[in-house]
Amino acid sequence: MSSQRLEDVLRDVNKKFKADVCKQGMSFDAVRRIPFSSPRMNYMTYGGMPIGRIIEFAGEEGGGKTTTALDLVAGAQKMFPDKQVLYVDIERTLDAEWAQKLGVDIDSLILFSPDEQTAEEVFEAVKSIVETGDISLCVLDSLAAMVSAQAYAKTIEDRTYGGISMALTLFSKEMIPICARTGCTLIGINQVREDMNSTYGGTTTTGGRAWRHNCSVRMSFQKSDYIDDKGNSIPRNSENPAGNLVKVAVVKSKVFKSDRKTGFYTLKYLTGIDHISDIIDLSIRAGIINAAGAWFSIMDEDGKVALNEGEALKFQGKAKLHQFLEEDEDWKDELNDRVLAAFS
């Protein structure tokens, strides 16, 4: 039981900071998340990215970072129709057509495309916009393309990109309470580069240790196997792949268990993220689909092969199962619901 003096001091502190920064006892509210459209990504992250936190998506060029971020943009727009999404297109490479395929409402997207502004100026503008409380998600694409004021002060010949560690450190420290207060999730897309300080080689990301520390979640992305239109892996030198697998790894998480460290989702170049492949793979993992050799059987809740209009739901080859789920929305939704229940 606290003394009257302690209670008075706590009240004075809260009055000074104009918020309940000090209180006795804690209530552990469930961390709300913005869901991905990919069941596999939701499985790995226990439901999506946490609201009001700072996130890093890192990887090599073409690894799937921006695609995954745009998928989350679509999720935020659906989840918070009364708020806006801010997309800071520093590289000026946002593809509106691709964003639409991923479900993004580009007409309501706030697009900020800095010209010759320094990293510090961009960060200040972002902070002002987020502080309005009207932004549900902010994407910085990408941190590695930003230039600090110090670098801008150099001559063209001496100028180098990067050097934003100090600016990013201050920005991320300021944004932690702002994001928590406004409910804005901040995603910084980052490039990996060679770690010059490592004796044994390896890679690191732009921004320094403080930025990495201030992130609640850090995820890495890498392009994996190419696939054909049936989802089968094909050689890397194939001329016309239909898509590729995206390898995802949870590098750090403060908000969900890291027991689902790595996974893959399927990306089709013409249609976007292949949700059905995710559902099939997770259904197999949960025992909802029985895979025996080349045969795939959808099981009912009694452990028997499910029936559809009297026909056993048994398919020779994953491609035929995939086609069935494409054509039958009811069965696709049922499997998705059962997968969510199995891994919730």
The per-residue pLDDT for range 198-256, each reduced to its tens digit, is: 555 566 788 889 999 999 999 999 999 999 988 889 998 999 999 999 999 999 999 99
Residue 161 has pLDDT above 60, yes or no: no
CATH number for the region 28-273 comes to 3.40.50.300
- Predicted confidence at residue 196, as pLDDT, reads 56
CA 262, chain centre distance (Å): 14
- Predicted confidence at residue 245, as pLDDT, reads 96
Q: What are phi and psi of 273, to 5 degrees?
A: -70, 130
Preceding omega of 258 cis (within 30 degrees of 0): no
Q: Spell out the domain ranges in the chain.
A: 28-273, 282-343
- Predicted confidence at residue 157, as pLDDT, reads 47
Mean pLDDT of the chain: 90
CA distance 100 to 272: 10
Q: Residue 296 pairs with which residues in a beta bridge?
A: 291, 315
Instruction: Indicate the SS3 state at residue 68.
Output: helix
Nearest to 271 by CA among 67, 57, 93, 65: 67
Q: What are phi and psi of 121, to 5 degrees?
A: -65, -40
User: Which CATH topology does 282-343 take?
Assistant: Rec A Protein; domain 2 (3.30.250)
Residue 76 in contact with residue 237, Cβ under 8 Å? Answer: no
Check if 28-273 and 282-343 are the same fold.
no
Give the pTM. 0.88
Percent of the chain residues past pLDDT 70, beyond the cut: 91
What sign results for the dihedral spanned by CA atoms 140, 143, 147, 148? positive
Instruction: Indicate the SS3 state at residue 260.
Output: coil
Count of beta carbons in the 10 Å neighbourhood of residue 171 = 24
Nearest to 217 by CA among 72, 105, 318, 328: 72
The tokens of 145 are what? Answer: 């393309």
CA distance 112 to 125: 10
The whole-number average pLDDT for the span 10-38 is: 79
| Pair type for strands 243-253 and 217-227 | antiparallel
The whole-number average pLDDT for the span 68-90 is: 97
Nearest to 38 by CA among 267, 232, 316, 256: 267
